[in-house]
Structure 1
Amino acid sequence: MTDLRRRTGLLAAGAAAAALLLTACGDSGSGDQEPDAGSTPAGQQESAPGAAPDDTESPSDADSTDSTGDSGDTGDTAAVPAELRWTAPAVGGGEFDAATLAGSPAVLWFWAPWCVICQGEAPGIKAAHEEWGEQVTFVGVSGHGGESQDETFVNTFGLDGFDHARDVDGSLWTDFGVASQPAFAFISKSGSVEVVPGSLDEQELDSRLAELTSQ
């Protein structure tokens, strides 16, 4: 009887131990465990600590200027040909701005105050200006002379009815390809330039001015 009780007690103790073991295993595999507060949910990228939101501008927003680099403001220089983008001292004082010639027919007359041919040509230039001055802008371009010499030349031959620019360093003559005086540069209203070296008599000059105004 004593052995039977001893065996029964051992079996009961073993069953209790087995029950405790099963309970511990079940708790460790439970799916109800809450995620750690610092863990990152699956499928989301974790940002670095302290990282600011990505607000980088897209290429289309980075610059409102068009693809050509032009801000859209072309300015007045677009209508002025390169040959007329210069200024020079004017005979008699002040400054002459060649950009004022843009958009209308003009003729430049290259002269020097001591040039005998220019002196002989001057009356014909004056007559042409009186006839064509309302349709064509005349401008003299003096070179190789001093300021007082230029003024004397203009006043002596009555050429003060139109502007004269002083090419003090020879750069204007060079830009127009003028090597010697006299010479002419006929500028159309579209900005094309035709340089004619040498002297023109009144008939030749009249013919060229008529052609210039018809363009």
Structure 2
Amino acid sequence: MQGTTLDGDTISATELDGPVVYWFWAPWCTVCRAEAPTVAEVAKRWEGEVTFLGVASRGPQDDMDAFVVETGTGGIRHIADLDGSIWAQLGVSAQPAFVFVDREGVATGWLGGLGEQQLDDVTASLAG
């Protein structure tokens, strides 16, 4: 998997070291907006142990950029999946959603939002 970040950099899954939490969101999604501060907090808590990567789609990039600023999620790198191809590759059909990839590369999907404790627990198990 390869994509372009909101900042215009190219990122590939092969350069991500260790476990990864992919957070799938859309800029107009009210649930995504509500859970964004929690995702940012958990990502900060596990920085250096688990990589968090936002995967934005279903909207124009200007709206994605505004979402990141408005929700305080700038500490997380975000991919602009403008054509939805990364969503399709990882089997994500709606937002919010998460895909958790462990150290062995095994991916587990979660459709819907997660509360802070549940997201923190899953992230802790990835960090293991």
TM range (shorter): over 0.9
Equivalent position of 1:160 in the other structure: 74
- Output the amino acid matched with 1:172: I
Equivalent position of 1:79 in the other structure: none
- Greater Rg, structure 1 or structure 2? 1
For the residue of structure 2 that corresponds to 1:186, the secondary structure is strand
- Output the amino acid matched with 1:93: G
Equivalent position of 2:7 in the other structure: 92
Rounded Cα–Cα distance in structure 2 between residues aligned with 1:94 and 1:179: 25
Cα offset, 1:157, TM superposition: 1.2
Q: TM-score under structure 1 normalisation? A: 0.58
Structure 1 stretches of at least 4 aligned residues deviating more than 6 Å after TM superposition: none
Q: TM-score under structure 2 normalisation? A: 0.95
The Cα RMSD (Å) is 1.0
Matches within 5 A, 1:50-199: 86-101=1-16, 103-199=17-113
Cα offset, 1:146, TM superposition: 0.8
Cα offset, 1:183, TM superposition: 0.4
CA offset digits 1:121-176 (Å, max 9, x no partner) = 00101110111112100100001011111111111111111210111111111111
Alpha carbons 2:40, 2:76 under 8 Å: kept? no
Equivalent position of 1:211 in the other structure: 125
- Output the amino acid matched with 2:74: D
Rounded Cα–Cα distance in structure 1 between residues aligned with 2:35 and 2:74: 15
For the residue of structure 1 that corresponds to 2:114, the secondary structure is coil
- Output the amino acid matched with 2:48: E
Rounded Cα–Cα distance in structure 1 between residues aligned with 2:111 and 2:47: 22
**Which protein has the bigger strand share?**
2
For the residue of structure 2 that corresponds to 1:190, the secondary structure is coil
CA offset digits 1:177-209 (Å, max 9, x no partner) = 111000001111111111111110001101101
Cα offset, 1:94, TM superposition: 2.0
Cα offset, 1:105, TM superposition: 0.9
Rounded Cα–Cα distance in structure 2 between residues aligned with 1:158 and 1:173: 23
In the alignment, structure 2 segments of 5+ residues that lack a partner are: none
- Output the amino acid matched with 2:71: F
- Output the amino acid matched with 1:112: A
How many residues are aligned here? 128
Rounded Cα–Cα distance in structure 1 between residues aligned with 2:108 and 2:95: 16
Cα offset, 1:92, TM superposition: 2.3
